[in-house]
Structure 1
Amino acid sequence: MCIAVTGSIATDHLMAFPGRFSEQLLTGRLEHVSLSFLADRLDVRRGGVGANIAFGLGSLGLRPVLVGSAGLDFAEHDALLRSAGVDTTWVRVSDALHTARFVCTTDDDQNQIATFYAGAMAEAGKIDLADVQRATGGLDLVLIGADDPQAMLRHTRIAHDLDVDVAADPSQQLARLTTEQTRTLVDGARWLFTNEYEAGLLQKRTGWAAQEVLRRVGVWVTTRGSDGVTIASADAATVEVPSVPAETIAEPTGAGDAFRAGFLAGVTQELTYQNAARLGCALATLVLESVGTQEYKVVAADLVARIDGAYGHAAAREIEPLLAGVA
């Protein structure tokens, strides 16, 4: 199974605000917000949607192909990804720009306010997915993650032309995309990923009601934080999967990306959607318990124990063989 993960590669600047954003917002004044939050902590880590998902897949024993654009400062991050089992051959390294920057502040309720600077990500459209297909001997799945919008559209078009399954994950770029662009990214995807807020925003962007979205995709997976995951399709009953409790929440950034990695690892190795989501939720919890999106380590016995505790012995027994090659 050859999975190409397209999406951003970034350096994350993660800050913590000891309070609640909601308490600083004035009713009736939201059209003119001017706020500054004094953060207690700053952690600089390696990240990016594409890199995070590829790292998660690699940590589960797969060998994903990362397709994205990084900057002059990529060498250390490259080494980390390769050590995790990620094929970085198709990462374009800019000779003029630095890697993208993600600056995010999290409050005590795990709400986040973030800004993303593209940097070298702006060159992602120069990568031809058809070349990746030829060089790898054939792609089985392409995840289209948040990236330069034109690159996302081009990758989607080429993947459909090549008759390769698409997992659409527009996430943070929904705020930047037009109606037609969003429709192009969604229509025909085998899997669509959003979080709960993005689900509403995606419907607003496309102008499609939920049933129309479901008519155009195979399966729509919506993450809902501590409330777990909803898996919906046009021709099957909706499945609700609870989250795996975290021992402590260190920093939430990247938990959704880890879920996507676990879910895709599961479905591409023939787990049911429910059990694939359970694996994704367990992996997401590892991220919640660490600061940084690629700082966790998968230990098979620990992951199986978490799945057992959250979902029972039967689920753990079905998922455990998938982790046979993981330390």
Structure 2
Amino acid sequence: MSALICGSIAYDNIMVFQSRFQDQILPDQIHVLNVSFLVPALRREFGGCAANIAYNLGLLGETGYPMATVGHDFAPYREWLGARGVPLDFVRELRDSWTAVAYITTDLADNQITAFHPGAMQHAHINAVPAHAGIRWGMVSPDGRQGMIDHAEQFAAAGIPFIFDPGQGLPMFGAAELTRFIELADVVAVNDYEGKMLSQRTGLDDEQIAARVQAYIVTRGAEGSTIMAGGRRHDIPAAAPEAVVDPTGCGDAYRAGLLFGLLRGADWETTGRIAALMGALKVESAGTQNHHFAREAFDERFSASFGYEHGLSG
């Protein structure tokens, strides 16, 4: 098995507000906030971190196994993933719950406001990491609170290296729990906002977090990303998208690139650039699992974007 990705599988309802949130929110009235955003178009997409990452990893030629709990309405999503070769061996269906669902509104500055109903996801802890399934890398991404705690402990107990990717789940945890995640993980990956929250809650700065793991990765959107590993700081440039269509899911695509580099034994400079290009390719398409490419085309675009060949086999 290549990678086990613990996290959510969800239906995404994606809307675009044709202005900027800041133009509709009065800063001095936040304490009595009551706003409504007109969103002329609505798309229902297949999403959730575990499925998104597994889908993107498959585009690169590796297999990611999502581990998740889903609800009685999962059938259309099951058919979608099956048709795209995403294995469902560790996806458990709960007949008395709905599949998790997100309502995501993006403004013209690519800011997002999301409401999320966890549904079956809050029972993620009933799944357990298989200790002897040949997992080479794991990931703990946003999921049910207890599931994230249990799966991190299970990866560590089984000696399976894993990425801790708290994402939107970070606010669920206090200082002691987040510090424990860092102690158990081999890699921690956050965006810039999450990184600031992680430091604030744990009292650890970037260098202190990096000293506790193999790599600490902070993404900054169009400004690129930073990978702190082995006492070195690698500043990874962003890959330029041909068009900015929809940022939803670009972080998951980036993380699939990280997993691919780790599975193939690439150095951090190359791993970060593969991840950056994956994020750019996702931004060019609406939804989180509608982009696709031939591996040869990816390799050519990597060379054109960064000036060298990554040297990893297809």
TM-score of the aligned structures, taking structure 2 as reference length: 0.95
Counterpart residue number, 2:131: 133
2:310 counterpart SS class = helix
1:133 counterpart SS class = coil
Equivalent residue letter for 1:191: V
Cα distance per residue 1:118-141 (max 9 Å; x no partner): 011112110111xx233x2x2221
Equivalent residue letter for 1:133: A
User: Contact 2:136 / 2:263 at 8 angstroms: preserved in 1?
Assistant: no
Structure 2 CA distance for aligned equivalents of residues 25 and 240 of structure 1: 35
Counterpart residue number, 2:84: 84
Does structure 1 residue 179 correspond to structure 2 residue 175? yes
Shift of residue 82 of structure 1? 3.0
2:253 aligns with one of 248, 255, 258:
258
User: Contact 1:70 / 1:94 at 8 angstroms: preserved in 2?
Assistant: yes
Equivalent residue letter for 1:116: F
Structure 1 CA distance for aligned equivalents of residues 182 and 30 of structure 2: 31
Name stretches of at least 5 consecutive residues in structure 1 with no aligned partner: none
Counterpart residue number, 1:281: 276
Cα distance per residue 1:265-288 (max 9 Å; x no partner): 012101111111111111111211
Greater CA deviation, 162-171 or 302-311?
Answer: 302-311
Cα distance per residue 1:194-241 (max 9 Å; x no partner): 0111110111222222222122221011111111111113x3321111
Counterpart residue number, 1:163: 159
User: Contact 1:71 / 1:97 at 8 angstroms: preserved in 2?
Assistant: yes
Counterpart residue number, 1:12: 12
Counterpart residue number, 2:203: 207
Cα distance per residue 1:277-323 (max 9 Å; x no partner): 111111111211111101111212321232122101x2xx224x43x
Structure 1 CA distance for aligned equivalents of residues 301 and 193 of structure 2: 27
Shift of residue 58 of structure 1? 1.6
Q: How does 1:244-323 map to 2 (within 5 A)?
A: 244-312=239-307, 314=308, 317-319=309-311, 321-322=312-313
Structure 2 CA distance for aligned equivalents of residues 61 and 146 of structure 1: 24
Q: CA RMSD in A?
A: 1.5
Structure 2 CA distance for aligned equivalents of residues 285 and 96 of structure 1: 38
Q: How does 1:3-152 map to 2 (within 5 A)?
A: 3-129=3-129, 132-134=130-132, 136=133, 138-152=134-148
User: Contact 2:59 / 2:295 at 8 angstroms: preserved in 1?
Assistant: no
1:274 counterpart SS class = helix
Shift of residue 11 of structure 1? 0.1
Equivalent residue letter for 1:87: P
Does structure 1 residue 226 correspond to structure 2 residue 218? no
Equivalent residue letter for 1:30: I
Counterpart residue number, 2:149: 153
Equivalent residue letter for 1:189: A
Name stretches of at least 5 consecutive residues in structure 2 with no aligned partner: none
Identity of aligned residues (%): 30
Equivalent residue letter for 2:41: R
Find runs of 4+ consecutive structure 1 residues off by over 4 angstroms.
none
Structure 1 CA distance for aligned equivalents of residues 114 and 69 of structure 2: 21
Shift of residue 31 of structure 1? 3.1
Shift of residue 176 of structure 1? 2.0
User: Contact 1:8 / 1:49 at 8 angstroms: preserved in 2?
Assistant: yes
Structure 2 CA distance for aligned equivalents of residues 85 and 205 of structure 1: 39
Shift of residue 105 of structure 1? 0.4
Shift of residue 10 of structure 1? 0.1
Equivalent residue letter for 2:286: V
Structure 1 CA distance for aligned equivalents of residues 66 and 27 of structure 2: 44
Structure 2 CA distance for aligned equivalents of residues 53 and 124 of structure 1: 17
Shift of residue 142 of structure 1? 1.2
Shift of residue 180 of structure 1? 2.1
Equivalent residue letter for 2:55: F
Structure 1 CA distance for aligned equivalents of residues 162 and 257 of structure 2: 16
Structure 1 CA distance for aligned equivalents of residues 45 and 112 of structure 2: 17
2:4 counterpart SS class = strand
